[in-house]
Amino acid sequence: MKIVTGKVIDGQVVVEGTPFDEGSTVTVLADDGDGSFELSAEQEADLLLALEEAERGDTLSPEELFASLRRAP
C-alpha cells in the first residue's frame, strides 16, 4: 500500500515521480479545502484494516451495502 499526495491537472490526478504502475487502481480522498485531516490512533487503525480488507477483495456489493443501511437503526 502507498500513500501519496497529488494534484488535479487538466482533470487528472497527477502524482510526481509516478510511483504507481500503469493501470493501477487507486482510491482518492479529496480534502474539504484546508488540505488536512486528523485521525485518532483508533481511527487510523480502522482505516488501515479497511484498506487491507479491500486489497483482499473482502468487500460488499452495492446491494449488500444498501441492505445493511436499511437495517441500521
CA 52 to chain centre: 11
User: Is 28:19 a contact under the CB 8 Å cutoff?
Assistant: no
* Distance in angstroms (rounded) separating the CA atoms of residues 60 and 68: 10
| Cell numbers linked to 54 | 479491500
At 60 the pLDDT is 86
Confidence bin at 72 (pLDDT 50/70/90) = confident
User: Residue ranges of the domains in the chain?
Assistant: 7-71
Residue 18 to residue 39: CA distance in whole angstroms: 27
Contacts of 59 (CB under 8 A, 6+ apart): 53
Q: What mean pLDDT, rounded, does the chain reach?
A: 83
What span, in angstroms and rounded, lies between the C-alpha atoms of 34 and 19? 25
List, for residues 23-48, the tens digit of each pLDDT value. 888 888 776 677 677 788 899 899 88
